[in-house]
A and B are shown apart, each in its own frame.
Chain A
Amino acid sequence: MNILVFVKRVPDSESKIEIDHDNNQIDMEGLNFLMNPYDEYAVEEALQIKESKGGTVHVISVGSEESVTILKKALAMGADEALLVKDDKHETYDGLRAAKIIAEVVKNKYSDYSLVLFGKQSIDTDNSQVPSMVAGLLDLPQVNVVTELDIGDGSGTAGREIEGAVEKVEFSLPAVISAQKGLNEPRYETLKGIMAAKRKQVPVISLQELGIEESDLESKLELVNLSPPPTKEAGKKIEEEPEEAAKQLVKFLHEEAKII
């Protein structure tokens, strides 16, 4: 069973985010980058399926040269092959761009695959768009925010989180799945894996080589402004005896929050 996993390089979630107002973008200078955390669940799931059913795990990223590091991480975890699709365009926030590139890569480079795995969301743009868009463009089944996955012959079942419940979805293969925390526990790279990944070459392909023109990717969303989140006025903070604290809190809930 061949599995494609799409991984994205994003700033660490601990990063302090500064706005570069002159260029209307987030200042990425000096930030620490890593593999989008949800994509780790996708890589892990692919490896587990491969271990039980055999096959090959391909990891693919669309981004700058620097994305090689996260591809190497996936190789060190145990993925077989990596591919970097070179796209230096600064983050556009329009998921359709990445989705179109990814759909082209899948069509052009891989003829035989059963699963296309994603993370449920990039933690930089917080988009949650690419998996559904790719599924739409390739006309494949999709299940998003998956916490349980069971792959059979030619079909599968997934559990996905919805409000107050888990929705069980049946689908045929090949299918698009996006991973949510809870699906598995991503493994750490082993020293042996890291050494082996170091030696592996990561092939790079350009948009041109994929036959994609910049005009096919025109952004449909225009970022008009970036602003810091509204600063909250410092609230009240009390250090009282528990009984008194409870009284004041209830008073706040009644008089100010008007919840009770």
Chain B
Amino acid sequence: MILTYMEIREDKIKKASLEALSEAKRRADDLNEDSVAVFLGKKIDNLAQEAFQYGASKVYLIENPLLEKYSSSLYTLALSEFIGEIKPKAVFFSATAMGKDLAPRVAAKLDVGVATDCTETRTENSGLEVERPIFAGKALAAFQFKSEPQIASLRPNVFPLLEPLSEEGEVVKKEVELSEDQAKEQVVEIKREEGDELDVTEAEVVISGGRGMKGPENFGLLKDIIALFSNAALGSSRSAVDAGWVDHQHQVGQTGKTVSPNLYIAVGISGAIQHLAGMSSSKFIVAINKDPEAAIFKVADFGVVGDLFKVIPPLKKELEKFKE
């Protein structure tokens, strides 16, 4: 049995969890195992249906009023107890902010290993083998597990979603005894970014500006392009953040966020190794830079050598023309 932890944000299943569940189904099929899903929350029975569409044959609901808001310690308690009971061969999390916070604590409770932020899973010797970038993506490390359950968190936007199935399955409700004082920490507020912008880690298209943008006033140029795509978000290099041009939330790279969108456009970004660490797993990379020797061109599928202030306006026009 492979169990996938399903993350809920704002009463919806995170897309990254559906990706993890899709991957779990593929590996479960290889191993002749079942793929099952678990949700934690207050009242969540409306979410089971979607998990069946992505390959779960059984959905477990752990409902408790104390699980309404995320708490690392409380979720760990509920989850590790449940895992101890159903004894899955493997557990998948998505490597989101929540998954990265939760998976290692659960692993420590169960005294097993965990592989974080994996970009590939496969089967080997009737167990899992996972691969993950280390040293900021300068090497890939493949791991096998010497304990069960084998726990892995999967990088968002890397694993393809299954074509939604029309299957139904069994919903099992699980009781868990929890008391308020077991919640050692508690989320009290979630402050959305202004304007409710899409986060870089969740966007299908990321358009990033670097020091070449020259100043905060020019980021409007990029926002105009972003508006022409659906599901696009603004990213940036660290230099642009350090200069105070954009908020840290937008920073891509080793000290920022790791993204793997379908399309990454680097504008006025040199391509320092710490920046590449955060975006080199993007599916298509486009670079616009006036320096033909810029390192970013080494990873770009399509590079435009030129002054961004001259290239962006006609690009906007061409995109608009295309849309018509």
Q: Which residues of A contact B144 (CB under 8 A)?
A: 221-222, 224
Smallest Cβ distance from A154 to chain B, in angstroms? 13
Is B85 part of the contact surface with A, judged by Cβ < 8 Å? Answer: no
Q: Is the CB of A245 within 8 A of B304?
A: yes
Is B280 part of the contact surface with A, judged by Cβ < 8 Å? Answer: yes
State whether A126 and B135 are in contact (beta carbons under 8 Å apart), knowing that A93-B143, A259-B262 are contacts in the complex: yes
Q: Is the CB of A225 within 8 A of B186?
A: no
Minimal Cβ-Cβ distance residue in B for A129: B104
Q: Is the CB of B304 within 8 A of A249?
A: yes
Is A82 part of the contact surface with B, judged by Cβ < 8 Å? Answer: no
Q: Is the CB of A246 within 8 A of B315?
A: yes
Q: C-beta contact mask, A22-64 vs B, less than 8 Å → 1, else 0?
A: 0000100000000001100000000000000000000000000
Number of residues from B at the complex interface, CB < 8 A: 99
Is A89 part of the contact surface with B, judged by Cβ < 8 Å? Answer: no
Q: Is the CB of B73 within 8 A of A142?
A: yes
Which of B112, B143, B263 makes the CB contact (< 8 A) with A257?
B263
Minimal Cβ-Cβ distance residue in A for B309: A242
Which of B76, B105, B134, B280 makes the CB contact (< 8 A) with A126?
B134
Minimal Cβ-Cβ distance residue in B for A16: B138
Q: Is the CB of A26 within 8 A of B139?
A: yes
Minimal Cβ-Cβ distance residue in B for A175: B185
Smallest Cβ distance from A41 to chain B, in angstroms? 10
State whether A221 and B113 are in contact (beta carbons under 8 Å apart), knowing that A135-B105, A140-B184 are contacts in the complex: yes
Minimal Cβ-Cβ distance residue in A for B276: A229
For the complex, what is the distance from the CA of A165 to the CA of B187, rounded to whole Å? 12
- Selected interface stretch from B20-28, B37-45, B295-303: B295-303
Q: C-beta contact mask, B216-249 vs A, less than 8 Å → 1, else 0?
A: 0000000000000100000000000000000011
Q: Which residues of B contact A134 (CB under 8 A)?
A: 108
Which of A17, A38, A95, A246 makes the CB contact (< 8 A) with B314?
A246
Q: Is the CB of A141 within 8 A of B318?
A: no
Q: Is the CB of B136 within 8 A of A223?
A: no
For the complex, what is the distance from the CA of A247 to the CA of B320, rounded to whole Å? 11
Give chain B interface residues in 239-269, CB to chain A under 8 Å: 248-249, 251, 254-256, 262-263
Q: Is the CB of A250 within 8 A of B322?
A: yes
For the complex, what is the distance from the CA of A165 to the CA of B194, rounded to whole Å? 9
Most chain B beta-carbon contacts within 10 A, residue among A126, A239, A252, A256: A126
Q: Is the CB of B201 within 8 A of A222?
A: no
State whether A95 and B139 are in contact (beta carbons under 8 Å apart), knowing that A164-B199, A181-B255, A224-B129 are contacts in the complex: no
Is B212 part of the contact surface with A, judged by Cβ < 8 Å? Answer: no
State whether A250 and B319 are in contact (beta carbons under 8 Å apart), knowing that A162-B190, A222-B145, A226-B140 are contacts in the complex: yes
Q: Is the CB of A163 within 8 A of B108?
A: no
For the A-B complex with A167-B97, A253-B286 known, give 18 more contacts whose Cβ atoms are closer than 8 Å.
Answer: A17-B138, A93-B143, A96-B107, A126-B132, A132-B72, A140-B184, A144-B100, A166-B191, A169-B187, A172-B184, A175-B184, A180-B255, A221-B115, A222-B145, A243-B314, A245-B304, A246-B314, A259-B262
**Interchain Cβ contacts under 8 Å between A and B, 7 examples:** A127-B116, A130-B104, A144-B100, A167-B189, A225-B142, A229-B280, A252-B286
